[in-house]
Amino acid sequence: MTGQRSDARRNYRRILAVAEAEVARHGAAASLEQVARTAGVGSATVRRHFPTRQALLEAVFQERVQALCERADQLTRADDSRAALLDWLHDLVRYAVSARGLADALTYEPPTDTPADADAQHSCGAALESAATPLLRRALRDEVVRPGVTFHDLLTLAVGIALATEHHTDPAAQADRLFTLTVEGLSPSPRA
């Protein structure tokens, strides 16, 4: 946004603030037209700043995703690689449950074996993958996670739990329960 006119920067901030509120209310299905009306700009202005719904969702969740990336970095220094990976994955599940629409935003990014283009490299999924891969590699190396588990497996698991519990009376409690059940199958605790 460097070099943008001050009114363009103000529009961007206003659109993003309105989008955050709309996504919190309606999830990933928030109306871009409603965002434009509430922000007091035209639909073309919204699309100029956010050419796709995915681009808007990426911007809405940027801070939460950055916090998850920082948490992964902190956990790389933990002694127990299993606990570190599971703590991070649980944080991801909690964020996805509490941030309506985040799970939907992450489902836009199916795994690929091809290098990502420049925009995709800055996506929520790519940022999370980059941050969490060292945790997963260490857990795999220490043989505390089943061989063959990939980051995309973990992301699919977290997204699935978030989406499956979003309409429960207490989605956070149900997600925690499902996460615990999953972990027992994903990485059984070593027997003493």
- Regarding pTM above 0.85, the answer is no
Helix (H) or strand (E) segment spanning residue 149: none
The C-alpha atoms of residue 23 and residue 32 are separated, in whole angstroms, by 10
CB distance 157 to 96 below 8 Å: no
Helix (H, G, I), strand (E, B) or coil at 57: helix
- pLDDT tens, 5-40? 888 889 899 999 999 889 888 888 888 899 999 999
- pLDDT value at residue 29: 85
- pLDDT value at residue 161: 96
Residues in Cβ contact with 185 at an 8 Å cutoff, skipping those fewer than 6 apart? none
Most confident of 52-56, 103-107, 131-135, 179-183: 131-135
Question: Residue 149 corresponds to which tokens in the numbers above?
Answer: 């588990």
- pLDDT tens, 95-143? 999 888 888 888 765 555 444 444 455 688 899 999 999 999 999 999 9
